[in-house]
Every structure is written in C-alpha cells, then in structure tokens.
Amino acid sequence: MSTVQLKNPHVAELDVDHYYHLGFDSSMDLKELFGGVRFVLYGGSNDRMLNIAESFAASFWPLPLGQKVTPIGSTTRYHMFKVGPILFFAHGMGMPTFSIMLHETTKLLAAAGAKDVIMIRIGTSGGVGVEGGSIVVTKNSVSGLLEPYYDIPSLGKVIRRPSVLDQDVHDGLLAAAAELGLTAVSGTTMSVDCFYEGQGRLDGAICHYEAADKLAFLQKASEAGVRNIEMESLMFGAFCQELGIKGGVICTTLLNRLNGDQVTMTPEQYKAWVGGVVEVVKTYVAKTLGITRKD
Amino acid sequence: MSTVQLKNPHVAELDVDHYYHLGFDSSMDLKELFGGVRFVLYGGSNDRMLNIAESFAASFWPLPLGQKVTPIGSTTRYHMFKVGPILFFAHGMGMPTFSIMLHETTKLLAAAGAKDVIMIRIGTSGGVGVEGGSIVVTKNSVSGLLEPYYDIPSLGKVIRRPSVLDQDVHDGLLAAAAELGLTAVSGTTMSVDCFYEGQGRLDGAICHYEAADKLAFLQKASEAGVRNIEMESLMFGAFCQELGIKGGVICTTLLNRLNGDQVTMTPEQYKAWVGGVVEVVKTYVAKTLGITRKD
C-alpha cells in the first residue's frame, strides 16, 4: 500500500492549504471524506462526468430511493462527484485546466492519506486511421512536435518532463475491453493545445495550409504510432510520472481525422461510444477493487 | 464598418460549418441571431459570466417581469449568454479551452456578418506588486519566459505569433476607470499554462525551488513591466492580431504574489473586486455604443 506523495516540502508548512479551485481545504476532515478513495476518473465535461458517476452508482453502489448523485465542493470551475471510493472530476478542455485540478486533487488525496490511488482520464478524441467510435488506450503521449515530453516554463526556464503512463493500468484496460468483446487499440496519443491549427484541421478561423499538407502530417503521425489526438494526456503523463502516480488514459474517437475535420456524430452515437469506454473502465475498476456488479 | 474576417479559405467550402463546442451551426439564421453583435465579453467561469450578463441587462436592457437571462447554445462545454448586442462567453481556464471558443466564436460572427466587433476578456489574475482588488488593463502579454510571442505547434512545426492587443480598447478601458474614480494600472500580463509551477507558486503538488528563487523571478518579471499573471491573454492577443480583431484584457487581481501564493479572499471581496471591473467595462461599452444606463 502506498500513499499519495507530493514533491513539495513547502506544503507541510501551510497552516491551512486551500484547494482553491475545488472548494475544499485542509482544515476539513479530509481523512474521513477522502481517505478511502482508490480511483479518480477524469473527463472533460460536467454532464459526461455526472452521467458516468450515475452509471457507476447504478452498477456498484445503488443509491436509496429518493437520493441522487450531486456535485461535491465548488461548482464554480469544475463539477466533481463521489460514488463509493471513486471520484469523478470534470477537468474542462486542455492541459492547463486539467493541470490545476491534478495539483489540487493530488494535494487533497495526500492530505487525506489515500492509498494505492489510480487516476484514469476518460476522454474523447479524434482518431488517426481509426474510425469514429473506436476505443484507444494510450500507450504513451507525444506533443504536436511528436516528442514524448511535456515542457512547462517555470521561473523563466523550461522544465522538460517525460510523459509516462502506467503499464499495468494500460494492460488492465485492454484486458477489460477484451473481456467485454470490445475492440480497443493500444497506441500513441498526440496531445496538443489547440483544437484547430494544433490538430491540423482545415476548419478553424485560421488555416495557413492545404489539405495535402494536413494529410501528409497525419500520415507521418500515424507512421509514428499515433492513433488519436486530444488535448490533455501529455501533461497528465508528465504529472503522474513526476509523482509516481499510476495513470491511464482511455478515449473514444469521435471521427477519423484522415477522412475529415468536422465533428458531426449524432447524440445517440456519442452516448453509445462513450458508454462503451465506461463499461471497459467499470470492468477494470471492478477487477481491481474485487467487487461485483449489482445491475 | 468592418466585418469579422477569417484567414481560412477552406471554411467557405463547407456545406454546413458546425461550431461544435458552441452548439450552433451555419445552417441556422446566424445573421438574424448574431448579425448585430458588437461586443464579446469573455471570462473564465459560468457563474461569473451569468452574473455579468445579468448586470449588463439590468443596466442597459432591463428584462420584462417574468423573464431572465438563460444560456444559449450548448451548455456541455461552456455557458454563453446574449444580452442586447453583447455576447457573454465563459471560456474555462487556460489558453487551449479559450482558443477553441475563439475559433468558433469568430467563425460564427463572420458567418453572421457581424461588424466592428470588440472582444474583451474580463479575468481574474494574481497581482505582481499590486494588491488584491487592483484593476490591471493589459498593455501587452508575455509568456512564462517573458517573451511577447505565442508559440503553437501546427503540422509538426512551431508557429510563432506576436501577441498584440488593441491600443484604443486599452486606452478606453483606462479612461472608463478614471471616469469612475477607480484606479486601474496599465501593465504587462504574464500568461502561462500552469497555475502552480508555471506561476512560481510554492503550494503546488510539485515544487522544485525555494521561496527566494520565486521572489527573484517575480522581481525580474516586475522589472520587465509585469503587473499580473493569468492563463489566457497571450494566446488571445496572438489570435486577435492574426485576424485584425480589436481585443482587450482587463483583470482584477485576487492577491499580490509578492506576498503569497494562496487565494483566500472572501466571497464578498471577490464579488466587489469583479464588480469594479464590470463597472469599468460597462462604462466603456456604453461610450462605444452611445447608450445610457437605465439603472
């Protein structure tokens, strides 16, 4: 059993640590509230994370008649939910907003004394050579320059950190998909700061290249092992690696970028595609925690 | 009168352009809905932008009894509001999430034929040598390396764009503050991708430096003209500059980073501080549109 660790001696010097964007602080009884947390599931949007939390509750920890899952902490910046030993946090879009949440979640769990915590991002992404509705489990992440590092300027100098996710979590998610008879691809995820130019789309407000240039780059990325593109996993892997957190990323793809740029799937498709990924994560969580489904 | 322009010939080739994250598309009667838009006010959080929209409605376009401001478009990713010729959009935290919104807002306004649009970010920030509750109007933005450029990898190569805000908007916001008897500082804004290490905080989950290193860097930034730190304006200035959009940034500061890192102001202080900035923007908008307050 290993507790969540920080790499910052200064935190211990604070009388009270305010996890400002979450709306919790270290004067609360965090051990009681969060000491038993074993999983943190992250995703982009508030609605999606509520749906996922409700789905986990229905499968493993059914709520009594007259009760429902409701946000915890502050709802100003993020929506967060807790069901059993699992936190469900909506991180918004992009590495910076997710980074804030990761710092504060990790500090909160360290203060709570949580043990053997696994963090998984459940995302949406653009596929590269895989069709919409595919499941991609991230083996490693690369930047828009196809480099496996996350660069963050700090005190005027760039800190470069390798982005490394956990092999066991990766393998466990793939095994869970196989158990369900779902096809999941293991691959490299390209992780960038821009949905349009940063992903080589032709449909942004600014575009300085032609369709052939875009396809040549996506082809190059595909040959380098890239199977999907999103906007968070590179920083997530760097953060997990730095702190020894077991992290995983599993995404559905909303389209195949080799065929187009616009996201036009139906709400029903979106629901079904995300639902598939959620079932995979449920299966992995159940196996890890040694629990069985009640639905 | 100048209409909103794109720098992308490919958009004209789309049968229907889906502004996916906003929940609008070009098959709608955008000219009717958005053709008259003159201002887009951006800010981080949904709650804050609703409050600001309601405050503008009360001052300039009072709603009939029994009606209230309600979100437009999709609420999955962002909350957006419209009052008179003004859009109020919550962009979340960080440049990537704001970038998505800027691309889609600009495409929507271009399709609507909107003219002479001014975009202003109303933000919160950490002050550098100015106390909590101060107003900073951004003269220019710099990166965490104190460089006035925004770098975005696209098709495997870094595109470097200067970040330039509009001088008239800057001057107009300062004049509006002066008219209200409020002190507003004009200065450089440092704009970064991380709330903790990226801003030299000592209270993140990871911190590899000491208090003296942090203060030395903040002092260096201060000497370079930096008066506040936030996470959006550098990309915003680069986007506006590239498309010839008149953009401005006005922030309240929540603390003086030379004195600490934790954000601990009271809700009442927060409300009053943001309220001051909103009054400045109201005064500037009223003067620009030639309208008078009704409250």
Reported as a single tens digit per residue, the pLDDT across A131-182 is: 999 999 999 999 999 999 999 999 999 999 999 999 999 999 999 999 999 9
pLDDT at position A19 is 97
Q: Do A206 and B103 touch (CB under 8 A)?
A: yes
CA distances from B176 to A163, B253, B283, B284 (A): 47, 18, 6, 6
Q: Do B194 and A239 touch (CB under 8 A)?
A: no
Number of residues that make up chain A = 295
Burial class (CB within 10 angstroms; exposed 0-12, middle 13-18, buried 19+) of B180? middle
Q: Is the pLDDT of residue A1 over 80?
A: no
Report the b/e string of B73-90 with b at 16+ CB within 10 A: bbbbbbbbbbbbbbbbbb
Chain B CB contacts of A92 below 8 Å: 92-94, 97
Please state the pTM of the whole predicted model.
Answer: 0.96
Q: Is the pLDDT of residue A259 over 80?
A: yes
Chain A CB contacts of B18 below 8 Å: 262-264
Would you list the DSSP string of B201-255? -SSSSB--S-HHHHHHHHHHHHHTTEEEEESSHHHHHHHHHHHT-EEEEEEEEEE
Per-domain boundaries in chain B: 9-289
Answer whether B238's CB lies under 8 Å from A198's CB: no
pLDDT at position A38 is 98
| Superfamily holding A9-289 | Nucleoside phosphorylase domain (3.40.50.1580)
Chain A 166-225, CB below 8 Å of chain B: which residues? 192-198, 200, 202-209, 211, 213-214, 217, 220-221
**Residue B127 carries which DSSP code?**
E
Q: Do B205 and A8 touch (CB under 8 A)?
A: yes
What is the share, in percent, of chain A residues with pLDDT greater than 90?
Answer: 98
The candidate with the shortest Cα–Cα distance to A31, out of A52, A57, A3, A56, is A3
Q: Do A207 and B10 touch (CB under 8 A)?
A: yes
How is chain A split among helix, strand and coil, in percent rounded to 5? 35, 25, 40
Nearest Cα residue in chain B from A263: B20
Chain B CB contacts of A11 below 8 Å: 203, 205, 207
Residue pairs spanning A and B at CB distance below 8 A: 231
Q: Do A263 and B213 touch (CB under 8 A)?
A: no
Residue in the block written with tokens 């690696």: A241
Side chain identity at residue A149, one-letter code: Y
Q: Do A197 and B20 touch (CB under 8 A)?
A: no
Q: State whether residue A103 sits within 8 Å of chain B by CB.
A: yes
List chain B pLDDT tens, one digit each, 295 residues: 699 999 999 999 999 999 999 999 999 999 999 999 999 999 999 999 999 999 999 999 999 999 999 999 999 999 999 999 999 999 999 999 999 999 999 999 999 999 999 999 999 999 999 999 999 999 999 999 999 999 999 999 999 999 999 999 999 999 999 999 999 999 999 999 999 999 999 999 999 999 999 999 999 999 999 999 999 999 999 999 999 999 999 999 999 999 999 888 999 999 999 999 999 999 999 999 999 999 9
Structure tokens given for A163: 């982005």
Structure tokens given for A223: 């040959």
Could you give the CA distance from residue A57 to residue A185 in angstroms, rounded to a whole number? 27
ipTM: 0.95
Q: Do B194 and A10 touch (CB under 8 A)?
A: no
